[in-house]
Structure 1
Amino acid sequence: MEIPAEEAPVTGPVDALTPRQRRRAIAAATLGNGLEFYDFITYAFFAIQIGNTFFPSESPFLSLMGSLAAFGAGFITRPLGAAVLGTYADRHGRKPAMLVSMTMMGVGILLLALTPGYATIGYAAPVIAVLARLIQGFALGGEVGSATIYMMESSTPQRRGFTMSFQGASQAVAATIGSLVGLMLSLVMSEAELASYGWRIALLLGATIVPLALVIRHSLPETIHHADTAVVADDGWRSYLRPIVCGFLIIASGTIGSYIFTYMATYGQNTLKLSTTISFSGSVANNAIQIVAVMTGAILSDRFGRKAAMVLPQCLFALSVVPCFLWLTTQRDAFSFIGANLVLAGIGSFVYGAVYAAISESIPKAVRARVFALVYSIPVAVFGGTTQMVVTWILEVTGDPMSIAYYLTGVSLVGLGAMIAMRESAPVRIGTLVASPA
């Protein structure tokens, strides 16, 4: 009996790679992916300072909203980058697509970090800032598909979930480093210095590593060949519609949660009136725990299946949001703020050790980079680009610090429903696990 496309075992030229080549390929893809996310996410940690630089206003709320709107602009071009560079990766190779995305990200970050503020060049400043974010978004949209699928195809079936968890873990590493940089700068600089040039230093630190990442990626082996793309499934996209829809909803739910965690530095300062140091410490905590949680979830998903590693933790997360926010909004001190961040980020990130593998394993190889990139980038563009503005607006309108918790609980339940509907794809669970000669 023919195995449905969304449950079919995934094979490829991975056995042509030696264990050393495999480790090097995965490490290089992870480094580049983490670097691009560092450059993209660090903006959020300095939203207030960047807002004052490019979108000055007598109202701190309007200045912050202007900054968050520019942050959101970076999401508009992510689906376009996913479509263009994802198609390029499927037709011409994962490696050249990763090189293009890395180069574009370097250009975007330099443009943003080196552009003078509104006080110096007027309206040209916010225009250039938005343009830089559009370039970054296009690059990152293409990066996610090519780098994630490259990790998958460089792995063995037995360790596919663990290998692909480096995608989520590298994002968490990038966010952790970004928040640590913000914390260190807040300790050694005054508020005025941080607003004037401290945020530029944080962005430029990421740009300095781009040349090294390009050199490393250039030497990588390719994981897709012409024979892999010559035939596309006869049933077309309908044969893998379920993972597309479920993946869209899961990524949408996770994106809102992820950018709420990213927003916590701003939430701590703007809503809870905590110090910059405490607020950045909370961000460091929630990003650091995500690394451990994602990789632990991935290991368990390889052993017990993708659904078990997604559904149970997501249930626990949905039940934990309101109590944790009650704790931190009531106490409003360093212990509660950092503790609540640790608990929520740890539980909420656990599921993403399995999500990327669950979606990718259900998509034919010939279109995998493009489809995965779109399934990832479209909900990220819609919800990642608007989450922080929506949350800021909700907090402003309701005046209730707990409103963010109710919003997060609702979207986590949507993600839970999609995880339940997702079909199992782990080789160990569907009986397609074949030992690799390597």
Structure 2
Amino acid sequence: MNSLNSPQIPFVPHRPLAASDHRTLTLAALGGALEFYDFVIHVFFAAAIGQLFFPPTIPDWLRQLQTFGIFAAGYLARPLGGVILAHFGDLVGRKRMFTLSVLLMALPTLLMGLLPTFGAIGIAAPVLLLVCRVLQGAAVGGEVPGAWVFVSEHVPPRHVGYACGLLTGGLTFGILLGSLIASGVNHHYSHAEIAAYAWRIPFVIGGLFGILSAFLRRWLDETPVFVEMKARRSLATEVPLKTVLREHGRAVIVSMLLTWTLTAAIVVVILMTPTLVAKRFRIDPAAALQANSAATLCLCVGCVVAGMLAGRIGTRRTIFVGCLLLGASYFAMLRHLAADPGALLPLYAVSGFFVGAVAAIPVAMVNAFPPAVRFSGISFSYNVAYAVFGGLTPVFVSLMLKWNPSAPELYVAALSVIGALTSLALPRTSEVAKK
């Protein structure tokens, strides 16, 4: 069985988007933004957390290592959390897991903002921080694939690209929101005030808004696809992941390769580039971060555009062309900065926009797996690949930099080519439409 040619969404294929669809997409994108905000806010206050949650007698390098180790634990927890939530999502319903994932993120985030520090409870402080971080990782592991499945199964097939693009744009907006709030806290409070109490504000805000988002999701309906499968008694009859690994191996491999490209785009172009260009081209760090905010905003727009294109010209073409434009724009940006560092903001904005091409990747994954095991298939492929490649990419690029200062653009260019070539394994638009 070729799972890449599995049926897409089997209901009312030609109806227009209704008001209920727009409500669903808006709430899903809002919840995704808040959940990603909760997941990344830790890194913006890593310095304060390291000082407050670890023994004051240890060296700074060890404190920093332990702080980022706890941050990395969230990534390691993603595959397990994603598999568990997806398992029940395929068996008992998308909506329940969709609501649970945001609540599972909000409560630990709120708790992190209220935790006593090392000075108050000793070694229990970093242990509790680690537990909260692991719960956050488990939550985001279920949220991202669960959100893609949820929105794609609510809209007609021709609008799946737009739905996934809007949702992915919401997720990336969460990164920008975290950066802006962190900048606001650092601007309005002194270092002493941040260490005393102000570092808690973003966590408490994120936790409270996350709880509100979970409450709002209660008003969403179960996806028509799941309701139809339940009525026809066509839900998975065995562990969904077992079926995925046995019958949809090709879809898993293609999804993992596309996720690898996605990690290169997000981790290198969006997360690592401000530090890389500041050091390499002697650009003011504040200017680099300002350009990064512009790039992330353009990324949000690019996600929606890529999603809409995937619905109009096909996922295969969108990923192929988008990956090549991403690699070319990032390569050109870093080469041009060597001669004109002042052009960072517009060039970075263009690269950020083309990073949005990754929003077509979830559309490909939705089409790759049949509804009965769709949640488990996407969750396993995406989370395992993201945990491996997302975790190793900074290390690999850093090691490459020792031998070649052009390592970032070469790595992104190579992964862009891999993504473009992998897209050729996807079915053509006409082939999907016939299913």
Residue 291 of structure 2: aligned partner: 282
Residue 378 of structure 2: aligned partner: 372
CA distance in 2, matches of 1:57, 1:383: 34
Residue 436 of structure 1: aligned partner: none
One-letter identity of the residue aligned with 2:287: I
CA distance in 1, matches of 2:176, 2:38: 12
Residue 8 of structure 1: aligned partner: 6
Cα distance 1:326–1:191, how it changes in 2: closer, same or farther (>3 A)? farther
Cα distance 1:386–1:201, how it changes in 2: closer, same or farther (>3 A)? farther
Query: Is residue 243–residue 373 contact of structure 2 (8 Å, CA) maintained in 1?
Result: no
CA displacement, residues 61-90 of structure 1 (integer Å, 9 cap, x when unaligned) = 554443332221101111111111101111
Q: What pairs up with 1:331-342 in 2 under 5 angstroms? A: 335-342=342-349
Cα distance 1:47–1:325, how it changes in 2: closer, same or farther (>3 A)? farther
One-letter identity of the residue aligned with 1:349: G
RMSD across aligned positions (CA): 3.2
After TM superposition, the score normalised by the length of structure 2 is: 0.86
Are 1:206 and 2:206 matched, yes or no? yes
Q: What pairs up with 1:368-407 in 2 under 5 angstroms? A: 368-388=374-394, 390-391=396-397, 398=402, 402-407=406-411
Gaps of 5+ in 1: 434-438
One-letter identity of the residue aligned with 1:241: G
CA distance in 2, matches of 1:344, 1:198: 34
Query: Is residue 57–residue 63 contact of structure 1 (8 Å, CA) maintained in 2?
Result: no
Residue 185 of structure 1: aligned partner: 185
Query: Is residue 118–residue 125 contact of structure 1 (8 Å, CA) maintained in 2?
Result: yes
Query: Is residue 162–residue 299 contact of structure 1 (8 Å, CA) maintained in 2?
Result: yes
Are 1:344 and 2:351 matched, yes or no? yes
Cα distance 1:411–1:44, how it changes in 2: closer, same or farther (>3 A)? farther
Cα distance 1:423–1:207, how it changes in 2: closer, same or farther (>3 A)? same
How many equivalent pairs are there?
424
Residue 22 of structure 1: aligned partner: 21
One-letter identity of the residue aligned with 1:370: S
Aligned identity (percent) is: 26
Cα distance 1:57–1:154, how it changes in 2: closer, same or farther (>3 A)? farther
Q: What pairs up with 1:34-73 in 2 under 5 angstroms? A: 34-54=33-53, 62-73=62-73
CA distance in 1, matches of 2:109, 2:433: 45
How far off its partner does 1:39 sit?
0.6
Match of 1:420 among 418, 424, 433: 424
After TM superposition, the score normalised by the length of structure 1 is: 0.85
Q: What pairs up with 1:98-117 in 2 under 5 angstroms? A: 98-117=98-117
Match of 1:243 among 217, 228, 251: 251
Cα distance 1:415–1:110, how it changes in 2: closer, same or farther (>3 A)? same
Gaps of 5+ in 2: none
Instruction: Give secondary structure in 2 for the equivalent of 1:208.
Output: helix
Instruction: Give secondary structure in 2 for the equivalent of 1:109.
Output: helix
Instruction: Give secondary structure in 2 for the equivalent of 1:421.
Output: coil
Cα distance 1:6–1:20, how it changes in 2: closer, same or farther (>3 A)? same
CA displacement, residues 80-134 of structure 1 (integer Å, 9 cap, x when unaligned) = 1111110111111111111221221112212322234445544333322222110
How far off its partner does 1:302 sit?
0.9
Cα distance 1:86–1:328, how it changes in 2: closer, same or farther (>3 A)? same
Are 1:314 and 2:314 matched, yes or no? no
How far off its partner does 1:265 sit?
4.8
How far off its partner does 1:409 sit?
3.1
CA distance in 2, matches of 1:45, 1:217: 28
Instruction: Give secondary structure in 2 for the equivalent of 1:422.
Output: coil
One-letter identity of the residue aligned with 2:427: R
Instruction: Give secondary structure in 2 for the equivalent of 1:77.
Output: helix
